[in-house]
Amino acid sequence: MEPILSVEDLSVSFARYDRGLSRRSLSALRGLSLAVEPGQVLAVVGESGAGKSLLAHAILHILPRNAQASGTIRYGGASLTRERAEVLRGREVALIPQGVTFLDPMMKVGSQIRRGENSPDARARCRQVLERYGLGPETEELYPFQLSGGMARRVLIACAVMESPRLIIADEPTPGLDAKAAGRVLGHFRELAEQGAGVLFITHDLTLALSVADRITVLYDGQTADTVSPSQFRAGTGLTHPYTRALRQAMPENDFL
């Protein structure tokens, strides 16, 4: 099947000015490739600093100004240019950002989820999506500073899935959520995938990734270590990189070897 998203040979580096005059380039992602097919949840697993958020931001052309990216990103078979990404973002392509600072502090939650739309249909969908994440209709009238961390996280997810996206990029969506709320989020991703969406699920939680993903890409030090299915990972077959093998060995069911 034609992937909905493909990333080929993506590299991201930062210009760094050392003391004195020398300018060094610091590479954060190197030659990364992956593909998400419609109907699939691809988990990208890596420890903090591995480059997971950079990957999400590179796809959507929202990297910091001092970053330099190269490589090919295609969405729906065509190059995902900055112009296209701007049009698609928040509509067909939804980002669930890692930081809750992505919420607009000056706008009430309800308006943010509806993106200012006020039709009865938009209002009903907004209520539905909030309810789905265990938030009552009164949440719509709150400003972001009035939300707890876990509520803010759920609001970000509600914002992202409101428009039935074809591609969801979720950057560590579950920290701060209890097991029940996290389960609800992952269940919803699965459901969106079953309706034909592609899901890029970024997480440092290997157990969570194994429980929900069709395939897992292990990111290590800015590079793809391995891409395998959860059953391959569990069985330890097809793992080529020492980091992936060590990760598997360290799982509780493998006695933390």
Q: Which residues bind ligand ADP (CB under 6 A)?
A: 14, 28, 46, 48-54, 64, 66
Single-letter code of the amino acid located at 47: E
> 28 or 94: whose CB is closer to ligand ADP?
28
Q: Which helix (H) or strand (E) holds 189?
A: helix 179-194
CB of 10 to ligand ADP, least distance (A): 12
Q: Among candidates 65, 73, 66, which has minimal Cα distance to 25?
A: 66
Q: Give the residue with the Cβ less far from Mg ion, 6 or 53.
A: 53
Contact partner, 185, from ligand ADP, Mg ion, none, Cβ < 5-8 Å per class: none
Residue whose CB is less far from Mg ion, 50 or 130: 50
Q: Which does 252 bind (CB under 5 to 8 A by kind): Mg ion, ligand ADP, none?
A: none
Contact 32, 223 (CB under 8 A): yes
The smaller minimum CB distance to ligand ADP, of residues 66 and 72, is found at: 66
The 3-state DSSP class for residue 239 equals coil
Q: How far is the CB of 82 from ligand ADP (least distance, A)?
A: 18
User: Measured from the CB of residue 11, what is the shortest distance to ligand ADP in angstroms?
Assistant: 12
Contact of residue 116 among ligand ADP, Mg ion, none (CB under 5-8 Å per partner type): none
User: Smallest distance from the beta carbon of 28 to ligand ADP, in angstroms?
Assistant: 4
DSSP conformational letter for 38: T
Binding interface with Mg ion (CB under 5 A) = 52-53, 98
Rounded Cα distance between 19 and 45, Å, is: 34
Distance between CA atoms of residues 57 and 123, nearest Å: 30
By DSSP bridging, strand 67-75 and strand 5-17 are antiparallel
Closest by Cα among 5, 32, 3, 14 to 93: 5
Q: Which option in Mg ion, ligand ADP, none does residue 46 bind, with CB closer than 5 to 8 A by kind? A: ligand ADP
Closest to ligand ADP by CB, 22 or 48? 48
Number of C-alpha atoms within 13 angstroms, CB side, residue 234?
11
Cα gap 134→160, rounded to integer Å: 16
- Rounded least distance, CB 173 to Mg ion, Å: 11
- Closer residue to ligand ADP in complex, CB, 27/111: 27
